């Protein structure tokens, strides 16, 4: 049965080019000139397998369409098309549920690779000629090659073994470092992100993370550039992320949660002591192995902000994760301090103990607004067996004004530690 694809773009030339590239019999391709038109097509024809939509359109834009598709056809996968200067908004769309994004101009093999991966097929558009033509040319002429294979040997040193993760910003590989006979984690930033922030400046800024040495911090081992994209190397932890543990188990037993929160607070305290703010504390950046937790990606969010903030406010605004952003960070303040990390840790603690974060919404904007104006529900309403002292520790992180939160992560580690026992995975 042909895969069903809906192309949405207010540029007729791009729609025609995409239809010509994909309509080879292996796909049932429909098109729409606006988000409103796309919803009409969806209602008439049913849910497509993939919606390929422009981000910037007259009237409702691609983000609006993404939200409507997720509501009406939750099994449909949405791929955003955008210009390089809109990469920050595209990253936001990934956090709201987009399956991937392509930066214009992109070449047709890249488009086919993305669609083939999403559809679980390898024959997308394979019978068409002119496979290296570009779609959406006219910005700087560079194609996006996110689907391009990473070499087996990176920087003549790291033997890449398997891709273990892929997100809005980067791909993550388990690799072997034969020089030291160990496994490491290698993160390669997406080319679109690299174009927006500038590789050299990112690599310069991320070096601050190499100053961190603590039992609960994954320190920076190495960094460099591959094919125009920066990469950085950290120790590889055999275990699951805190996000995976939450997804599998829901809320954690109180002593176990408190022990993990103590580890994270101690890691943050060590970083804050040398002036480093994480800026993106979340379960995905907490790795679990044995009885302890390690915090990863120190310096990454700061490097992204410093490298991109002055040049590209859209990507600067996207740095961080809405569900865990402090009010001042979500409002766009560039110079947040350690108290933003305290707030994010409070959100993580709340989720560990309640099974869900205090604020939710159907869009990043709705969640950020809740951080700014809504009071979090008392933790005891969602976890009646919580000790008042532990609830006070968590809720004290979540004050809207930074000056009313707990003043430092070190004292917070002590508060969590009072309720911890050594956790057994």
pLDDT for res 196? 65
Give yes or no for residue 130 having a pLDDT over 70.
Answer: no
* Separation between Cα atoms, residue 190 and residue 182, nearest integer Å: 25
Give yes or no for residue 396 having a pLDDT over 90.
Answer: yes
Across all residues in the chain, what is the average pLDDT? 82
pLDDT for res 129? 40
Give the β-pairing of 170-177 and 182-189. Answer: antiparallel
pLDDT for res 84? 52
Q: Is the separation of the CB atoms in 30 and 6 below 8 Å?
A: yes
Give yes or no for residue 92 having a pLDDT over 80.
Answer: no
Phi, psi of 411 (to 5 degrees): -70, -30
How would you classify residue 279: left for phi > 0, otherwise alpha for psi between -120 and 50, otherwise beta? left
- pLDDT level of residue 109 (50, 70, 90 thresholds): confident
* Separation between Cα atoms, residue 417 and residue 244, nearest integer Å: 23
Give yes or no for residue 349 having a pLDDT over 50.
Answer: yes
- Calculate what percentage of the chain has a pLDDT beyond 70: 81
Domains of the chain: residue spans and CATH: 3-135 (3.40.50.2300), 153-235 (3.30.200.20), 242-417 (1.10.510.10)
Strand partners, 131: none
pLDDT digits (tens, 9 = 90+) for 46-81: 999 999 999 888 888 898 999 999 999 999 999 988
pLDDT for res 14? 81
Tell me how far CA of residue 368 lies from CA of 217, 331, 421, in angstroms. 28, 8, 34
Decide which of 294 and 138 is more confident: 294
Tell me how far CA of residue 247 lies from CA of 171, 242, 250, 252, 284, in angstroms. 21, 9, 6, 11, 11
**Which of the residues are catalytic?**
280
* Separation between Cα atoms, residue 228 and residue 117, nearest integer Å: 23
pLDDT for res 133? 46
pLDDT for res 90? 67
What is the distance, to the nearest Å, from the Cα of residue 144 to the centroid of all Cα atoms in its chain?
19
Q: Is the separation of the CB atoms in 66 and 97 below 8 Å?
A: yes
CA dihedral 145→146→149→151, nearest 10 degrees, is 90
Tell me which DSSP letter residue 326 carries. Answer: -
Give the β-pairing of 158-166 and 153-154. Answer: antiparallel
Decide which of 63 and 104 is more confident: 63
Tell me how far CA of residue 228 lies from CA of 105, 144, 146, 209, 311, in angstroms. 16, 11, 12, 21, 18
- pLDDT level of residue 369 (50, 70, 90 thresholds): confident
Which of 80-84, 264-268, 392-396 shows the lowest mean pLDDT across its residues?
Answer: 80-84
pLDDT digits (tens, 9 = 90+) for 167-192: 667 788 999 999 999 999 999 887 76
The two structure tokens encoding residue 226: 């591959």
- pLDDT level of residue 319 (50, 70, 90 thresholds): low
Which of 13-17, 53-57, 116-120, 230-234 shows the lowest mean pLDDT across its residues?
Answer: 13-17
Q: CB-based contacts of 413: which residues, under 8 Å, 6+ apart?
A: 262, 265, 266, 269
Which of 7-16, 163-172, 315-324, 353-362 shows the lowest mean pLDDT across its residues?
Answer: 315-324
Query: Can you tell me whether residue 14 is helix, strand or coil?
Result: helix
* Separation between Cα atoms, residue 65 and residue 43, nearest integer Å: 13
pLDDT digits (tens, 9 = 90+) for 217-272: 998 899 998 877 889 999 998 888 999 899 889 999 999 999 999 999 999 999 99
Q: Is the separation of the CB atoms in 127 and 24 below 8 Å?
A: yes
């Amino acid at each position: 049965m042909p895969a069903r694809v809906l192309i949405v773009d207010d540029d007729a030339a791009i729609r025609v080019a995409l239809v010509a590239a994909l309509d080879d019999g292996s796909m049932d391709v429909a098109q729409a000139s606006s988000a409103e038109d796309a919803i009409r097509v969806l209602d008439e024809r049913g849910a497509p397998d993939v919606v390929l939509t422009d981000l910037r359109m007259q009237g409702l834009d691609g983000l609006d369409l993404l939200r409507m598709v997720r509501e009406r056809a939750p099994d449909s996968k949405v791929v955003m098309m955008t210009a390089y200067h809109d990469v920050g908004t595209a990253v936001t769309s990934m956090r709201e549920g987009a399956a991937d994004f392509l930066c214009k101009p992109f070449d047709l093999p890249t488009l086919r690779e993305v669609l083939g991966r999403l559809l679980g097929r390898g024959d997308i558009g394979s019978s068409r000629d002119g496979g290296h033509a570009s779609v959406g040319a006219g910005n700087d002429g560079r194609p996006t090659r996110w689907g391009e294979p990473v070499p087996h040997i990176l920087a003549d040193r790291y033997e890449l073994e398997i891709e273990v993760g892929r997100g809005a910003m980067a791909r993550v590989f388990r690799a072997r470092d034969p020089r030291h006979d160990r496994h490491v984690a290698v993160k390669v930033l997406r080319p679109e992100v690299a174009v927006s922030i500038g590789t050299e400046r990112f690599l310069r800024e991320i070096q601050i993370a190499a100053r961190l040495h603590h039992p609960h911090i994954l320190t920076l081992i190495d960094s460099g550039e591959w094919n125009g994209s920066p990469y950085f190397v950290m120790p590889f932890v055999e275990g699951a992320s805190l996000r995976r543990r939450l997804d599998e188990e829901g809320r954690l037993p109180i002593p176990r949660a408190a022990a993990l929160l103590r580890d994270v607070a101690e890691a943050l305290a060590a970083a804050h002591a040398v002036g480093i703010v994480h800026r993106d504390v979340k379960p995905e950046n907490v790795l679990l192995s044995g009885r302890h937790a390690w915090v990863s990606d120190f310096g990454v969010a700061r490097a992204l902000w410093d490298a991109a903030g002055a040049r590209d406010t859209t990507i600067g605004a996207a740095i961080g994760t809405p569900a865990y952003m402090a009010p001042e960070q979500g409002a766009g303040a560039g110079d947040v301090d350690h108290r933003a990390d305290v707030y994010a840790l409070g959100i993580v603690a709340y989720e560990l103990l309640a099974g869900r974060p205090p604020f939710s919404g159907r869009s990043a904007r709705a969640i950020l607004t809740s951080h700014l104006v809504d009071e979090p529900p008392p933790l005891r309403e969602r976890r009646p067996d919580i000790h008042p002292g532990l609830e006070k520790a968590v809720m004290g992180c979540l004050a809207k004004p930074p000056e009313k939160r707990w003043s430092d992560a070190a004292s917070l580690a002590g508060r969590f530690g009072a309720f911890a026992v050594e956790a057994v995975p």
